[in-house]
Amino acid sequence: MRATEGLHICGSCRRPFVVHDAIQRAPAGIEQVVVDLRCVDCGWLHTGTYAMSAVEALDLAMDLDEREIRAALEVIEFADQVERIDRFARALELGLITPGDFV
């Protein structure tokens, strides 16, 4: 199966989870690079020759995805902290936590 036009899109599952592994120079006289692509979702593997600009676009897509994942993680961590505080406050209201619990 071929890689899609946008290298970040998997040639098998069509999801945007492709990363590159090895990048090597193509043989002399060829203006492209040889890239090993791997989908981290379905395990699809592909090796092909691409313009360096396509690989740079993949790097940019990977950077943007990483930022989105980190932002989503921050939201999840914040929501988890809020939930913990709410549960603690509720336990205090119900008298389930007393000063003796901290001795």
* Residues binding Zn ion (CB under 5 A): 10, 12-13, 39, 41-42, 44
**46 vs 50, beta carbon nearer Zn ion:** 46
Closest approach of Zn ion to the CB of residue 46, in Å: 10
**15 vs 55, beta carbon nearer Zn ion:** 15
Q: What CA–CA distance (Å, rounded) separates 55 from 37?
A: 10
Closest approach of Zn ion to the CB of residue 17, in Å: 6
Residue linked to tokens 């290298």: 7
User: Which residues 6+ apart lie within 8 Å of 51 measured at CB?
Assistant: 31, 32, 33
Residues in the chain: 103
How far, in Å, are 80, 99, 101 from residue 89 at the CA level?
A: 14, 14, 15
Closest approach of Zn ion to the CB of residue 18, in Å: 7
**36 vs 97, beta carbon nearer Zn ion:** 36
